[in-house]
A and B are shown apart, each in its own frame.
Chain A
Amino acid sequence: MGLFISSAQAAENHSPLEQFEIRRLVPLDVGGVDVSFTNSSLWMIVVLAAITFFLSVAVQRQALVPGRLQLTAEMAYQFIANMVRDNAGSAGRPYFPFIFTLFIFILFANIQGLIPYSFTVTSHIIVTFSMALVVFVGVTIIGVVRHGARFLTLFVPSGVPIALAPLLVVIELISYLVRPITLAVRLFANMTAGHILLKVFGGFVVSLGGFYVIPGIAPLAVTVALYGLELIVAFLQAYVFAVLSCLYLNDALHLHH
């Protein structure tokens, strides 16, 4: 069927960016602010439902000797608990649920985005930036509440000559303020780039005659390999986001560099 569509038309219909489009499924407006239920919202709810379902089933029996699902949930729990303890110390314990939520939400969003025809929530900069901003603002508030004015010593590296201090304070301040942007862009860019690549190579399979024809096999193989890579990236980016949040939290809790 693809043979009858001109390549220009095909390119238009199968733009690698088409998968990121936001479609309003139920237009909603609250006080002039658009809060429409979109395909993004739908997949956020799918992520929420999937996590809730998975963990609910996992802890349903609370068996002494865990089954596979329970073991997976426990491993995730201990993975994040250890991450928080190792990176933020015991003072980070109260923030464990938040870090866990952050990690599992990003992980599930990344992974379900790899299901064909689904939508990747985390491929949108506004979503990743919102989460990064919550981490940034939250961590700053925690730091200020815990240490008051002493929080500002975070921007003065210890053992620095007085003459260099102003310059370094500016650098430290910029590197601190840029944190939410790097955090957000890292996740967004990884997801977007990965999905564009998958789409492009998937398009090659079709334009080379489909996966049942010899020339189509090479891009198909690449697509399969990329898919495996993307699974790793999906986990890795969720991990990186959570670890960096822990490190920022550690800075706010303990102030030392």
Chain B
Amino acid sequence: MPQLDITTFTAQIFWLVVTFVVLYLVLARRLLPRIGEVIESRAKRIAEDIEQAEKLKAESEAAIKTYEAALAGARANAQTVIGEAKAAATAESAKALAALEARLDADASAAEARIRAARERAKDELASVAGEAASAIAKRLIGVDARSDAVAAVVAAELKRT
């Protein structure tokens, strides 16, 4: 087995030490730090970007909050304006309604008074017509010329009974 040939050992050890030490120095001094640098700078960059993104997110959230507050204020404002307008309109319409009612009431009572007067007048006219008719009927049937005031009294009494 060539591996057990001790005469080759010193040469192998020598060249292993040389190549291994050179490789170690190249890696430890130059290449590994550079790889580490890249990885670190990338991690830092990502962390920074995330931080930036979080800051922007917080900012936008604050902006949304102020916008929402403004919106809520405007909405409340509009609500009060609407309420006031509604109240004013209600008062106005109530006043108009009241005036209309008063006028209608006045009209109705005036009309009632007129109707009452007309009825009185009709009653009086009915009494005189009935008296005249009773006098004429009495004269034609029994030839009595009744006194007009007596007839009127009787008619009035009869009308009052009915």
A residues engaging B (CB < 8 A)? 17, 20-22, 24, 28, 33-38, 40-41, 44-45, 47-48, 51-52, 55-56, 58-59, 62-64, 66, 70, 73-74, 77-78, 96-98, 100-101, 104-105, 121, 123-127, 130-131, 188, 192
Evaluate contact between A105 and B3: CB separation under 8 angstroms: no
State the CA gap A84–B94 with chains docked (Å): 90
Smallest CB gap from A22: residue in B = B8
Say if the beta carbon of B36 comes within 8 Å of chain A: yes
Smallest CB gap from B24: residue in A = A101
Q: Which B residues are in CB contact (< 8 Å) with A59?
A: 31, 34-35, 38
Say if the beta carbon of B72 comes within 8 Å of chain A: no
What are some 14 contacts across the A-B interface (CB < 8 A)? A17-B2, A40-B11, A59-B35, A63-B38, A64-B41, A74-B35, A101-B28, A105-B23, A121-B16, A124-B3, A125-B4, A126-B13, A130-B13, A130-B17
Given known contacts A44-B15, A124-B12, is B23 in contact with A21 (CB within 8 Å)? no
Per-residue interface assignment for chain B, residues 1 to 43, with 1 indicating a CB less than 8 Å from any chain A CB and 0 otherwise: 1111101111111111111101110111001101111110110
Partner of B14, one of A35, A56, A131: A35
Shortest distance between the CB of A148 and any CB in chain B (Å): 28
Say if the beta carbon of B103 comes within 8 Å of chain A: no
Say if the beta carbon of B45 comes within 8 Å of chain A: yes
Partner of A131, one of B1, B16, B26, B41: B16
Q: Which A residues are in CB contact (< 8 Å) with B41?
A: 62, 64
Evaluate contact between B2 and A20: CB separation under 8 angstroms: yes
Partner of A97, one of B5, B11, B27: B27
Partner of B11, one of A17, A38, A74: A38
State the CA gap A56–B32 with chains docked (Å): 10
State the CA gap A14–B103 with chains docked (Å): 134
Q: Which A residues are in CB contact (< 8 Å) with B42?
A: 64
Partner of A77, one of B12, B20, B28, B35: B35
Evaluate contact between A52 and B39: CB separation under 8 angstroms: no
Smallest CB gap from A58: residue in B = B35
Mostly, the B contact residues are: helix
Smallest CB gap from A61: residue in B = B38
Evaluate contact between B3 and A126: CB separation under 8 angstroms: yes
Evaluate contact between B19 and A38: CB separation under 8 angstroms: no
Evaluate contact between B3 and A56: CB separation under 8 angstroms: no
Smallest CB gap from A125: residue in B = B3
Shortest distance between the CB of A71 and any CB in chain B (Å): 10
Shortest distance between the CB of A15 and any CB in chain B (Å): 10
Partner of A62, one of B4, B15, B28, B38: B38
Q: Which B residues are in CB contact (< 8 Å) with A105?
A: 19-20, 23
Shortest distance between the CB of A69 and any CB in chain B (Å): 11
Which among B10, B17, B31 has the highest number of chain A CB atoms within 10 Å?
A: B31
State the CA gap A52–B37 with chains docked (Å): 17
